[in-house]
Amino acid sequence: MSKSSIPVEFLLLMATMMCLTALFVDSMLPALHQIGSDLDALDNNRYQMVLTSIMVGLGVGQLFYGPIADAFGRKPAVYLGLALMLVGTAISTFAQSFEAMLFGRVLQGVGAAGPRVMVVTIIRDQYSGAEMARVLSLVMTIFIFSPVVAPLVGQVVLLFAGWRAIFGLLGVICLALLAWFAMRQVETLKPEHQRPLSLKPVMQGMKEVVSHRVALAYILVAGLSHSSIIAFLTSVQGIMQGIYDAGAMFPVYFAIIALGVGFSSFINSRLVYRFEIRTLVTRVLMFLGTLSLIEAALVTSGVVEVSLAGFIMMMTVSTFCLGLLFGNINALAMEPFGHMAGIASGVIGASTMLIGVLVGGAVGMSFNGTIIPLLLGFGLTSVTSVALILFGTPKQVTKAAAVKD
């Protein structure tokens, strides 16, 4: 089947919804130490919880939006999520304690889960297979501008108005997205796919997802891959500032590294029509795992001393590999669940995020003044993912086999 035309505004809207979480995470990167200092949370790397707390909320929240979306529609789920984000943002903006800050951040994450789940759900409502992977890759290509731009925006706001003003700007962005989505996005839930909002069908739907052997393997792989990016996010400021003394240039260096994801996501939108998706994912993971473990061994042994430029190059290659994974793994995990995309997207998204937070957060908290824990995190999660795919999933023919529902 030939590639179909995808509306540009649809891609932009889906990418903006996907960007919300990244904006709420990455714009705070330059402010982490200042927040930790102002709210007495610099000890034991506790300031990193400003990032992981929103991800915990995101993971838990995704369990609920699928059933809501399958019962009432995709648009009401997005409205609910954006409303919760605005409330959480107000709490964090005026927080006088670190605990209040974390509560607001968790609520932001619960809210952000709505748009996040609905992006995958709305796309799955309209596309499947390689075509879905292509759409997700194009969305990710646009999405990459958020981690490139967000730290720069956060740094500028920080210079003139302090970290609380960053939250104010994020609130304005939420309101603008709410208006755009309400006016321009149509409801995509098909009447025959509507499911009642009661405990029994919800539990049945969740059970169907987690009991699907192949889907479960890809959920674990998605979670481990996501843990790499969380480990990177929670470690990168400490590495850049603590080891390399990047100063005000940190957002620029971060943007360079983040471009690796955007470039690979753009390439991936074409690769999925040339290679079988499972094979592509496996080979990328093999490369990332092998490279990261070799780098870790060389640094640990003292054979190589990594400069700032070397670290940026290493991380750019790693993020390039990660950009080839996210959309493809999601497409593989979602493939069996076209009849219940909302619940499936929520369960898969929640599981992916929670695994990512647990594993990636542990890697981030193990930061010891070197880049070794981060490299080992990349390597071990990638090798484990390869084993899960090879032994837990059958070979699938998904290249250029898209069928629109």
Domain ranges for the chain: 8-392
Question: DSSP for 83-120?
Answer: HHHHHHHHHHHT--SHHHHHHHHHHHHHHHHHHHHHHH
Q: What is the pLDDT of residue 399?
A: 46
Residues 6+ apart with CB under 8 A from 375: 292, 293, 295, 296, 299, 314
Q: Could you give the CA distance from residue 108 to residue 110 in angstroms, rounded to a whole number?
A: 6
Calculate the alpha carbon distances from 63 to 74, 119, 320, 327 in Å: 14, 15, 29, 20
28 contacts 51 by C-beta, under 8 angstroms: yes
> Residue 104 corresponds to which tokens in the numbers above?
């607001």
Structure confidence by residue, pLDDT tens digits, 260-297: 776 786 787 677 777 888 889 999 999 999 999 999 99
Residues 6+ apart with CB under 8 A from 269: 133, 134, 137, 138, 141
Q: What is the pLDDT of residue 50?
A: 92
Q: Per-block average pLDDT, block size 10, for the chain (405 residues)? A: 72 92 90 90 82 90 84 94 97 95 96 90 84 80 78 90 94 96 92 78 79 90 92 89 87 86 75 82 95 95 90 93 85 80 77 90 87 95 95 64 38
137 contacts 265 by C-beta, under 8 angstroms: yes
Residues 6+ apart with CB under 8 A from 57: 88, 105, 106, 107, 108, 109, 110, 111, 112, 113
Q: Which amino acid is at 28?
A: M
Q: What is the pLDDT of residue 298?
A: 94
DSSP letter, residue 192:
G
- Position of tokens 């937070």? 357
CATH superfamily of 8-392: MFS general substrate transporter like domains (1.20.1250.20)
> Residue 22 corresponds to which tokens in the numbers above?
């990244």
Q: What is the pLDDT of residue 102?
A: 95
Find the radius of gyration of the CA atoms of the chain.
Answer: 20
Q: What is the pLDDT of residue 401?
A: 40
pTM exceeds 0.85, yes or no: no
Structure confidence by residue, pLDDT tens digits, 89-108: 999 999 999 999 999 999 99
